[in-house]
Structure 1
Amino acid sequence: MPKGSLNSILFTGSSKSKRKVVDWKTRFEIALGTARGLLYLHEECRDHIIHCDVKPESILLDGDLSPNLVDFWLAKLVGRDFSHVPTTTRGTRGYLAPEWISGLPITPKVDVYSFGTTLLEIISGRRNLDLKVQDSSLFYFPPWLATQIQQGNTMNIVEEGVAEEANMEEVRSLCVVALLCIQEDEEVRPSMMQVVQMLEGKMEPQTP
């Protein structure tokens, strides 16, 4: 893919080049396109598929910066008559749903969790887990982000250089969707159908 991975444009290169390429509109379209891809895997293709390793490195961008899901070597086929799959494979640290870490059978909700984590990174331009930051409260990003949402500090969440042209209500909405996706209880997480509907504005995301 000519533009490489989402990881490469979010986390590598100079900050100036990142801001020029990854504006807010582009970030939103990448998030929505990725969600639609996961919805296709979970519900629309002949054999339902759990990707099992959704992360910025698994999202490649074409010349128009449209996202394409790749790296299916951990993927699991899910029959239409059951929803839980036992697995001993492991995805990538920082994107793993709690039920995987606990050794429980997985469902498509593991992809929802990983998508939520990736969505936080798309919004903020920073890793969800970063032990190099000076402020220890930012080591693990989601709790800090949730606090910012509760306090109405949406501007603090978006990557510097992008916030000026971002729609703050849209940013807040995406943050709420991401927080819904990373709920510890898989039953509370939305399906990818619901995620797509929320991103498209067809369903109002309720702050968890």
Structure 2
Amino acid sequence: MKLKSMKSIVTCMIFSIASLFNIANASVLTGNLNVDNTFSAYLSTDDNVQGALLVSGNDWTVTDTFSTNLTAGTDYYLHVKAQDWGYIAGFLGDFSIDTNDHVFNNGLAQLLTNNVDWNVSTTGWNNYTTASTSLLGTSYNGIGPWGLRSGVDANADWIWSSESYTDLNAYFSTTITAVTAVPAPSTMIILGLALIGLASRRFKKQA
């Protein structure tokens, strides 16, 4: 009877530890962005697949926001599909992760729009090139015709393709890399069986 009770206790402990481990290693990705003119943002595990919708908008004067969970041990791609209605196009944003379990392409937990860490395509989720900040010769947050977008970090740059006046569609991508290894479910099972085995031997000796 004591052995059966001990097995139940150990089993409960294993599942509790596993649950706490997963909670502790969950990251939250947040973003703030303005896009001239319309956009949809997605989270994907494949750079050539659009992914799950996070947020969309059609008014560049409004700073749109989103928040989503990242699974520990999983790499992601943040995708932003943008469309311009004519003349000047631009994408401005800042993004952050609340733990050290994931990092952006720059190796940090915060990423701004820039011409180093973002890729862009004009044909879809493929054929990427580095995003451009050559817009109007400079692209800082505050430049006309948009002015300062207070909902986005002041150090962010407006980015687009190299032809921001003529390319009406742009597909932006940046990587989010998992930096914390997660034990496989089999590892937790083996640990649990080992604990139960030790408990069984102890109670047999006491019997």
Q: Same fold per TM (> 0.5)?
A: no
Task: Give the alignment's TM-score, normalised by structure 1.
Answer: 0.25
Radius of gyration: which is bigger?
2
Tell me which protein shows more helix as a share of its residues: 1
Tell me which protein shows more strand as a share of its residues: 2
| Structure with more contact order per residue of length (Cα contacts < 8 Å, sep ≥ 6) | 2
Task: Give the alignment's TM-score, normalised by structure 2.
Answer: 0.25
